[in-house]
């Protein structure tokens, strides 16, 4: 028989959450420190090689959403940023819920990483336009118009796509082209951890 949900009990906050809050705060500190160091010491599009040609530090300012996809208009900007804020709140609620349910540690750390990664880039979008003055001049207000600071560039290899390929046929394709940051890496790692643990838990229940 499925266990009943008691919101008062399942969403209460107790001391077990402290270690996950420390993880979140440490990751946010690392993320913002890396961003500030690169932002203060690199010119836009400037890069330096770390490991040969395939791992570089390169300063890019992302005014759009994921993978630098631009916002359509101001309404789209506020809607998508508000959606990300709501999703971050949901992630934190899920973390509290599974802590109280004594969920697997891999799942809990995965949710904590997802939350930290999401908040890391939200800080850029909401505050950096004011704190770092890195918003574009076309905007009348700086709040919620900050650019996300990206710096990790991994152009691992380049191939020529065949003419029959459905996308970008005959063009050269660089893998991995997007420039990303520490928050993106943390978010991806957390999502993989949480997904793998949920799948494993689901299989155990079916077995």
Q: What is the pLDDT of residue 1?
A: 44
41 three-class SS: helix
Q: What is the pLDDT of residue 145?
A: 95
What's the rounded Cα separation, in Å, for the pair 173 and 66? Answer: 19
Residue 72 has pLDDT above 70, yes or no: yes
Q: What is the pLDDT of residue 157?
A: 83
Confidence grade of residue 10 (pLDDT, cut at 50, 70, 90): low
Contact predicate 20/7, CB 8 Å = no
**Averaged pLDDT score across all residues of the chain:** 90
Instruction: Give residues with Cβ within 8 angstroms of 172, minimum separation 6.
Output: 158, 159, 160, 161
pLDDT in tens, 122-139: 999 999 999 999 999 989
Domain boundaries along the sequence of the chain: 9-45+61-151+181-206
Confidence grade of residue 201 (pLDDT, cut at 50, 70, 90): confident
Confidence grade of residue 2 (pLDDT, cut at 50, 70, 90): low
Q: What is the pLDDT of residue 7?
A: 60
Q: What is the pLDDT of residue 33?
A: 98
Confidence grade of residue 5 (pLDDT, cut at 50, 70, 90): low
Residue 20 has pLDDT above 70, yes or no: yes
Mean pLDDT of the region 27-52 = 97
| 200, HSE (Cβ side, Cα atoms, 13 Å) | 11
Q: What is the pLDDT of residue 177?
A: 87
- How large a percentage of the chain has pLDDT more than 90? 70
Q: What is the pLDDT of residue 159?
A: 85
Tokens at residue 85, please? 């804020």
With b for 16 or more beta-carbon neighbours within 10 A and e for fewer, the 167-202 pattern comes to eeeeeeeeeeeebbbbbbbbbeebeebbeebeeeee
Least confident range from 20-34, 119-133, 141-155, 171-185: namely 171-185
Residue 14 has pLDDT above 80, yes or no: no
This prediction has a pTM of 0.89
């Amino acid at each position: 028989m499925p266990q009943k949900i008691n919101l008062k009990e399942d969403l209460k906050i107790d001391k077990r959450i402290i270690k996950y809050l420390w993880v979140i705060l440490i990751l946010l500190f690392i993320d913002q420190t890396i961003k500030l160091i690169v932002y203060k010491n690199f010119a836009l599009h400037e890069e330096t090689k770390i490991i040969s040609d395939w791992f570089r530090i390169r300063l890019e300012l992302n005014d759009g959403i994921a993978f630098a996809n631009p916002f359509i208009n101001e309404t789209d900007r506020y809607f998508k940023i508000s959606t990300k804020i709501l999703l971050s709140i949901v992630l934190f609620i899920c973390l509290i819920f599974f802590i109280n349910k004594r969920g697997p540690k891999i799942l809990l750390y995965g949710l904590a990483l997802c939350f930290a990664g999401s908040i890391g880039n939200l800080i850029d979008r909401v505050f950096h336009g004011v704190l770092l003055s890195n918003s574009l001049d076309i905007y009348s207000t700086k709040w919620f118009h900050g650019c996300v600071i990206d710096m990790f560039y991994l152009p691992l290899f380049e191939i020529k796509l065949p003419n029959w390929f459905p996308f970008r046929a005959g063009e050269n394709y660089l893998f991995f082209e997007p420039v990303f940051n520490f928050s993106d890496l943390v978010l991806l790692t957390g999502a993989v951890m949480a997904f793998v643990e949920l799948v494993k838990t689901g299989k155990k229940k079916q077995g």
